[in-house]
Structure 1
Amino acid sequence: MAVKVLILEDNPVARSFLCRVVRESFSDSIVITEAGDLETARKHISLTGGARGLHGVDPFKLILVDLELPDGNGMELLAELVHYPATKIVTTLYSDDDHLFPALQRGADGYLLKEDRFEVLVEELQKIVRGQPPLSPAIARRLLTHFRGSQDGGGIVDSGFSTPFGYANSRPVPIEKPLDHERLTPRENEVLTYLSKGFTIKEIASLMGIKWFTVNDHIKSIYKKLNVSSRAEAAVLASKQGLV
């Protein structure tokens, strides 16, 4: 089954450019749906089960969201889709803190600048397959500077948003309850085992004969069920319980 992608971008030239970036980034069969405004994007999302991707309809797996739109702001859509089962990436020209941090707080899994070169955007978007958040180099530097400047007594102050793809928050989340592996499905246990052995998302997908987007969905579910925020925490808990 083809991977469904939604690109929300009001500029036709930029939208065509992002379509090329997406097609170049992934080897999977891709079906791209384009939207030039919030209303159109919401209609497409409604057809795939609404803001939570329910009703048994195949949802989008990747959504690129522009921030400034003719009928509103992409932040609105990010807030609406906080529970939608897709990887959500902001694609914008804004690199300032006033846009970056609110977008991350509203559930963005990555932040890319449209002014970056084609090759850079492709390389960053491909990081999804490796379980890393797609961040334009300038954005990564800004985040690093922000957190280095927020040190408090040797520790970094929590920014209030959780990072995507299993990367830890600005400070480790305490593990207060033991892993209950009975809550995991057999598929999730298998994914957890591979994760604990250091395999990448793409490698796990190949070993299990499934799409990498599906592996990413399993990982998000594992982290949620085990109340962890990184591969390392999940591996520690799994090891303590003798799962790996």
Structure 2
Amino acid sequence: MPVKVLILEDNPVARSFLCRVVRESFSDANAITEAGDLETARKHIALAGGATGLHGVDPFKLILVDLELPDGNGMELLAELAHYPATKIVTTLYSDDDHLFPALQRGADGYLLKEDRFEVLVEELQKIVRGQPPLSPAIARRLLTHFRDSSLGDAQAPDSGLMRATGFTTSRPVPMEKLPDHERLTPRESEVLTYLSKGFTIKEIASLMGIKWFTVNDHIKSIYKKLNVSSRAEAAVLASKQGLV
């Protein structure tokens, strides 16, 4: 089954460019849906399971979101899709803190600059398969500079899936108590965690398990949430100590 991708971009030339980037980035057959404004994007999302993706229809697995749109701001959509089961990547021309950090706070899983070269965008987008957040080089440098110089406390620091994935969170103790029954890993999640702890990439795990890499990515997100960790190393150590794998 093709991987469903939604590209929200009002500029037709840029939209075509991003379509080429997506097709070049992934070997899976892609079913790409294009939207030039928020209203159109919302209609497509409504047809693909609604804001939670739970209406029995195959949801989008990857969503590229432009920030400046003719009928609003892409951050509105990021906020609306907080619980939507997709990897959400901002694709924009803005590299300043006023756009970057609000996007991360609203749940962006990556941040790419459309001005980057085609090859750079492909390389960054492919990081999803390896379980890494896609970040344009300029954005990665900005994040490093910000967190090296920042003296912000936990309550003020940006919090998002991307921030946890990049390791820019303040250290916190790993809980050692047993998980409640409803938060125990499923057999499938335990299998994914076992492969993760052995150093396999998302793409390799997908091949070993005979499933799509987007599905593996969903399992990993669930594992991190249930174990309250932010990296595969933390997850593997905690799971081993708790006898989860």
Pair in the same fold by TM > 0.5: yes
Q: What SS is found at the alignment partner of 2:64?
A: strand
What corresponds to 1:161 in structure 2? 159
The 2-side partners of 1:169 and 1:176 are apart by 19
Match in the other structure for 1:172 = 171
Label 1:39 to 1:110 Cα distance change in 2 as closer, same or farther (>3 A). Answer: same
Structure 1 position 93, deviation (Å): 0.3
Measured in 1, the distance between the counterparts of 2:147 and 2:189 equals 33
Q: 2:36 matched to which residue of 1?
A: 36
Q: Is the 8 A contact 1:163 1:169 kept in 2?
A: no
Q: How does 1:131-170 map to 2 (within 5 A)?
A: 131-151=131-151, 159-164=157-162, 166-170=165-169
Partner SS state of residue 60, structure 2: coil
Unpaired runs of 5+ in structure 2?
none
Q: Structure 1: where are the runs of 5+ without partners?
A: none
Q: SS state of the match for residue 129, structure 2?
A: helix
The amino acid across from 1:161 in the alignment is D
Q: Which amino acid aligns with 1:37?
A: D
* CA deviation vs aligned residue, 1:78-137 (integer Å, no higher than 9, x gap): 000010000000000000000000000000000000000000000000000010000000
Q: Does residue 209 of the first structure (1) align with residue 207 of the second (2)?
A: no
Letter aligned with residue 209 of structure 2 = M
Task: Check conservation: 1:61, 1:86, Cα contact below 8 A.
Answer: yes
Give 2:125's aligned amino acid.
L
2:75 — aligned with what? 75
Q: How many residues align?
A: 242
1:93 aligned partner: 93
Indicate how the Cα distance of structure 1 residues 216 and 181 shifts in structure 2: closer, same or farther if over 3 A, else same.
farther
SS in 2 for 1:148: helix
Partner of 1:189: 190
SS at match of 2:41: helix
RMSD: 1.8
- Matches of 1:121 and 1:175, distance apart in 2: 35
CA distance in 2, matches of 1:63, 1:134: 13
Shift of 1:170: 1.9
Contact 1:78/1:107 (CA < 8 Å) preserved in 2?
Answer: yes
Query: In the aligned structure 1, how far is the partner of 2:36 from the partner of 2:178?
Result: 44
Gap change, CA 1:43 and 1:157, over 3 Å in 2: closer
Counterparts of 1:168 and 1:215, CA distance in 2: 20
**Residue 151 of structure 1, CA deviation:** 4.5
Q: Partners in 2 of 1:241 and 1:177 — Cα distance?
A: 7
CA gap of 1:186–1:228, structure 2 versus 1, over 3 A, is: same
Cα contact 1:8–1:36 (8 A) shared by 2: yes
The separation in 2 between residues aligned to 1:149 and 1:97, in whole angstroms, is 14
> Could you tell me how far apart the structure 2 residues matched to 1:33 and 1:136 are?
23
Whole-Å separation in 2 of the counterparts to 1:243 and 1:146: 36
Residue equivalent to 2:228: 227
Distance 1:79 1:218 in 2: 22
